[in-house]
């Protein structure tokens, strides 16, 4: 046994070629298995309220009865104004919020005794101009010290682009109702935005004086924002359950305590069930949990704003959206009471929400895994690249540069190293011991850096061209992705015309550097946006195991061509096309959204795609392509 181990240890081929392959592969397998094990009872935990101050559901909510009459009155007034607008503009499908309705909101807030202000903004992204006007009113805490505030947001258009008439009306009714309480320790800001995509972003940017020039500054401000709740109610009938949306831009999440508070109040105090991640029927089985988690991870990985609340997250303001869903017997008053109770809980806060988790994956309204449990999954996948990169680096140092028949990481060769083979290699290494292996790093470093910088080109392109051209640009990039690696491979193999032809060691170094960067970037990213790191890691997994092929020309051509085709199916634009085809969403809308995210929300997903994933993929293709030339 020990002899066998010693043999293996003294076997350089095993150490530098086979072992890293095995380790890398194991990392990936364990990483994926780890994720799949998370929904089990033993690995996930029940949620709990960590912040003592919140005391969710301990207060009686009085929002009922006569307030409903006021709600109906407000709603009728607003509806009349909206209908007016619709008739004149003759738009049946798209209801635009008329200035008259906005003015009404303004005057209702003023009449309720709030300080009211407005803010105009305009954003341009991918050739589309988004403009609008925010209206907001502030209830100053009667006995508080105006250093902290809670925000209640009602957007005229919900995240799904429906008219949120009842939501807006409810917010107005609550504003009038809250104004009469004297127990607020924080100011309460009621924010009415024209839509869920731009309005809150403009407002919250301006609140922190970080707004672009096209956005007006805020004439009226309050203290530090402690939390935000977005109210939606885009239909007329009564609802059954509350859907809690919590994902933020770039996969940032609100403090788990806020989510738990909402679940505790909705479920415990009000008796309304709470859903998440569009899982309308959740039976708490393994499959349902896994599906919920995967949906959460997808949203987190893509990093887009899932509602008006998402814009608050980059400023470390915990925010959620409450969406009534289904047909049931809960009315707007029940939603109002839920929000009242939430505000009372937030009002109890003594400091910013900090006790509970900011990094978590939810799999049920009362079950989650925290970063400590799930992080190893993405870390293992990121680690596989690093292991391979280090192994390649060591291998380039171990083998003499001139050795022509260096095995370069094909996993197909599975014959066990025989004793004679090992001895042979030992002899060879002994012979070459005098010739110190020198790494030729200039070309690999330049190439890797250059290709990473090249990622800026698609990054710029996809964020700056007009939205009509997005589909065309995607197809062009598919073609570029086919041609560019072959071109680069040919160029490298034939010596670029200025230097001598590239040697095998340099191929290994190129791969080493590329994987090193990839591993570094992904493991760092895993701590910030676990899901994105995990997804990119999986998509890049083949890159660890491909390299320049050796052997007879026919086999090389065949295998590398097949490899290139398969690899091209995993290129960023092809993955985009595939996902769009599968989900039935148009490529243009996805890319428009992405460009909007980049321009307005500060979304970083594209940077990761074009400057981490794409260069690594490109280098993998170059390696494989070089076998042809």
Partner 1 sequence: MISFFRLLQALCLLLLVSLAAAEHTSNWAVLVSTSRFWFNYRHLANVLSLYRTVKRLGIPDSQIILMLPDDMACNPRNAFPGTVYSNADRAVDLYGDNIEVDYRGYEVTVENFIRLLTDRLDEDVPRSKRLGSDAGSNVLVYMTGHGGDQFLKFQDAEEIGAWDLADAFGQMWEKKRYHELLFMIDTCQANTMYTHFYSPNIVATGSSELDQSSYSHHADNDVGVAVIDRWTYYVLEFLETQVTSANSKLNLGDLFDSYDESKIHSQPGVRWDLFPGGEQEGRLRTVVDFFGNVQNVEVENANATEPGSLKEDLAEISRLAEKWRKRGEEYSAILGNSTQSQSENKKSSSVGLAPKKTVGPTKMAEDNSWGKRLYKTLRLLQKAKPAGCHTTEQKALLVPLICSRLVAQKHV
Query: In what helix (H) or strand (E) does residue 125 lie, and over which residues does it extend?
Result: strand 115-125
| Shortest distance (Å) from residue 54 CB to partner 1 | 8
Q: What is the largest CA-CA distance in the chain?
A: 96
Radius of gyration of the chain measured on its C-alpha atoms: 29
Query: In what helix (H) or strand (E) does residue 536 lie, and over which residues does it extend?
Result: helix 530-540
Give the residue with the Cβ less far from partner 1, 182 or 420.
Answer: 182
| Shortest distance (Å) from residue 2 CB to partner 1 | 50
Contact pick of 36, 183, 220, 445 for partner 1 (by CB under 8 A): 183
Handedness of CA 15, 20, 22, 23 (dihedral sign): positive
| Shortest distance (Å) from residue 619 CB to partner 1 | 54
Give the residue with the Cβ less far from partner 1, 184 or 239.
Answer: 184
**Rounded CA gap, 323 and 247, in Å?**
14
Give the residue with the Cβ less far from partner 1, 353 or 502.
Answer: 353
Give the residue with the Cβ less far from partner 1, 51 or 232.
Answer: 51
Give the residue with the Cβ less far from partner 1, 2 or 52.
Answer: 52
**Rounded CA gap, 231 and 175, in Å?**
13
| Shortest distance (Å) from residue 336 CB to partner 1 | 17
Q: Which of residues 347-366 bind partner 1 (CB under 8 A)?
A: 347-348, 350
Q: Which of residues 34-63 bind partner 1 (CB under 8 A)?
A: 52-53, 55, 58-60
Q: Is 414 in the site for partner 1 (CB under 8 A)?
A: no
| Shortest distance (Å) from residue 181 CB to partner 1 | 8
Rounded to 5 degrees, φ, ψ at 484 are: -55, -45
Q: Which of residues 488-547 bind partner 1 (CB under 8 A)?
A: none
Contact pick of 88, 182, 434, 583 for partner 1 (by CB under 8 A): 182
- Which of 256, 450, 498 lies closest to 359 in space, CA to CA? 256
Give the residue with the Cβ less far from partner 1, 143 or 430.
Answer: 143
Residue range at the interface with partner 1 (CB under 8 A); choices 204-212, 279-287, 343-351, 589-597: 343-351
Contact pick of 185, 366, 373, 561 for partner 1 (by CB under 8 A): 185
Give the residue with the Cβ less far from partner 1, 193 or 347.
Answer: 347
| Shortest distance (Å) from residue 271 CB to partner 1 | 16
Spatial contact of 572 and 617, defined as CB atoms under 8 Å apart: yes
| Shortest distance (Å) from residue 56 CB to partner 1 | 10
**Rounded CA gap, 489 and 483, in Å?**
10
| Shortest distance (Å) from residue 137 CB to partner 1 | 20
Give the residue with the Cβ less far from partner 1, 338 or 386.
Answer: 338
Q: Find all residues with CB under 8 Å of 530, minimum gap 6, and list them.
A: 251, 297, 300, 359, 361, 371, 374, 375, 377, 378
Spatial contact of 293 and 80, defined as CB atoms under 8 Å apart: no
**Rounded CA gap, 110 and 176, in Å?**
10
Spatial contact of 157 and 194, defined as CB atoms under 8 Å apart: yes
Question: If you count them, how many residues does the chain have?
Answer: 629
- The mark string for 118-147 relative to partner 1 (x by CB under 8 A, - otherwise) is -----------------------xxxxx--
- The mark string for 564-593 relative to partner 1 (x by CB under 8 A, - otherwise) is ------------------------------
Spatial contact of 275 and 365, defined as CB atoms under 8 Å apart: yes
| Shortest distance (Å) from residue 55 CB to partner 1 | 6
Q: Where are the alpha helices (DSSP H) in 90-164?
A: 99-111
Contact pick of 184, 190, 312, 470 for partner 1 (by CB under 8 A): 184
Number of residues near partner 1 (by CB under 8 A): 20
Give the residue with the Cβ less far from partner 1, 52 or 420.
Answer: 52
| Shortest distance (Å) from residue 174 CB to partner 1 | 17
Q: Where are the alpha helices (DSSP H) in 399-503?
A: 419-432, 442-454, 456-464, 470-493
| Percentages (nearest 5) of helix, strand, coil residues in the chain | 55, 15, 30
Give the residue with the Cβ less far from partner 1, 136 or 184.
Answer: 184
Give the residue with the Cβ less far from partner 1, 60 or 419.
Answer: 60
Residue 160 CB neighbour total at 10 angstroms = 11
**Rounded CA gap, 178 and 155, in Å?**
19
Spatial contact of 606 and 594, defined as CB atoms under 8 Å apart: yes
Residue range at the interface with partner 1 (CB under 8 A); choices 175-183, 220-228, 274-282, 391-399: 175-183
Residue range at the interface with partner 1 (CB under 8 A); choices 158-166, 177-185, 229-237, 239-247: 177-185
Residue 244's DSSP bridge partners are: 276, 322
Collapsing DSSP states into helix, strand and coil, what is residue 191? strand
Give the residue with the Cβ less far from partner 1, 185 or 216.
Answer: 185
Q: Which of residues 280-299 bind partner 1 (CB under 8 A)?
A: none
Spatial contact of 274 and 262, defined as CB atoms under 8 Å apart: yes
Give the residue with the Cβ less far from partner 1, 148 or 481.
Answer: 148
Strands 318-330 and 224-231: parallel
**Rounded CA gap, 301 and 299, in Å?**
5
- By the criterion CB under 8 A, which residues form the site for partner 1? 52-53, 55, 58-60, 141-145, 181-185, 344, 347-348, 350
């Amino acid at each position: 046994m020990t002899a066998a181990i010693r043999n293996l240890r003294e076997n350089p081929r095993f150490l530098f070629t086979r072992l890293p392959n095995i380790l890398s592969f194991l990392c990936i397998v364990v990483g994926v298995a780890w994720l799949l094990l998370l929904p089990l009872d033993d690995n996930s935990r029940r949620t709990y309220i960590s912040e003592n101050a919140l005391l969710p559901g301990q207060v009686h909510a009085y929002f009922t009865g006569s307030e409903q009459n006021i709600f109906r009155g407000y709603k009728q007034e607003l509806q009349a104004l909206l209908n007016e607008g619709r008739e004149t503009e003759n738009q049946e499908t798209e209801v635009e919020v008329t200035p008259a309705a906005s003015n009404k909101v303004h005057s209702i807030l003023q009449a309720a005794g709030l300080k009211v202000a407005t803010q105009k903004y305009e954003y341009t992204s991918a050739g589309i101009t988004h403009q609008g006007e925010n209206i907001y009113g502030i209830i100053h805490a009667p006995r508080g010290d105006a250093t902290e505030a809670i925000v209640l947001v009602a957007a005229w258009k919900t995240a799904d682009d429906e008219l949120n008439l009842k939501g807006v009306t409810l917010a107005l009714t609550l504003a009038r109702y809250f104004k009469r309480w004297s127990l607020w320790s924080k100011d309460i800001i009621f924010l009415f935005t024209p839509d869920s995509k731009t309005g809150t972003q403009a407002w919250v940017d301006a609140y922190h004086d970080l707004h672009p020039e096209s956005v007006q500054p805020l004439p009226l401000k309050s203290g530090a924002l402690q939390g935000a709740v977005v109210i939606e109610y885009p239909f007329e009938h009564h609802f059954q359950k509350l859907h809690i949306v919590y994902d933020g831009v770039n996969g940032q999440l609100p403090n788990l305590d806020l989510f738990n508070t909402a679940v505790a109040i909705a479920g415990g105090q009000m008796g309304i069930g709470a859903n998440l991640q569009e899982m309308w029927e959740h039976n708490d089985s393994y499959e349902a949990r896994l599906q919920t988690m995967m949906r959460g991870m997808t949203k987190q990985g893509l990093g887009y704003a899932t509602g008006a609340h998402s814009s608050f997250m980059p400023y470390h303001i915990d925010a959620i959206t409450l969406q009534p869903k289904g047909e049931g017997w809960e009315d707007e008053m029940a939603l109002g009471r839920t929000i009242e109770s939430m505000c009372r809980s937030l009002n109890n806060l003594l400091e910013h929400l900090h006790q509970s988790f900011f990094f978590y994956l939810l799999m049920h309204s009362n079950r989650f895994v925290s970063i400590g449990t799930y992080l190893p999954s993405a870390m293992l996948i990121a680690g596989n690249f690093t292991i391979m990169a280090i192994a390649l680096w060591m291998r380039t140092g171990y083998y003499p540069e001139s050795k022509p028949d260096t095995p370069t990481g094909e996993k197909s060769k599975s014959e066990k190293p025989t004793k004679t083979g090992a001895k042979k290699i030992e002899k060879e290494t002994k012979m070459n011991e005098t010739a110190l292996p020198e790494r030729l790093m200039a070309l690999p470093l330049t190439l890797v850096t250059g290709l990473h910088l090249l990622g800026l080109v698609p990054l710029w392109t996809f964020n700056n061209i007009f939205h009509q051209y997005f589909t065309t640009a995607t197809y062009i990039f598919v073609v570029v992705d086919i041609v560019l690696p072959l071109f680069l491979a040919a160029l490298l193999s034939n010596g670029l015309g200025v230097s001598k032809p590239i040697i095998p060691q340099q191929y290994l170094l190129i791969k080493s550097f590329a994987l090193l960067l990839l591993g570094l970037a992904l493991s760092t990213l895993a701590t910030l946006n676990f899901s994105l790191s995990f997804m990119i890691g999986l998509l890049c997994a083949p890159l660890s195991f491909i390299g320049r092929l050796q052997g007879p020309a026919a086999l090389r051509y065949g295998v590398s061509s097949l490899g290139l085709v398969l690899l091209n199916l995993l290129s960023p634009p092809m993955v985009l096309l595939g996902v769009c085809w599968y989900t039935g969403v148009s490529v243009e809308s996805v890319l428009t959204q992405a460009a909007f995210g980049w321009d307005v929300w500060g979304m970083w997903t594209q940077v990761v795609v074009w400057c981490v994933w794409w260069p690594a993929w490109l280098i993998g293709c170059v390696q494989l392509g070089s076998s042809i030339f």
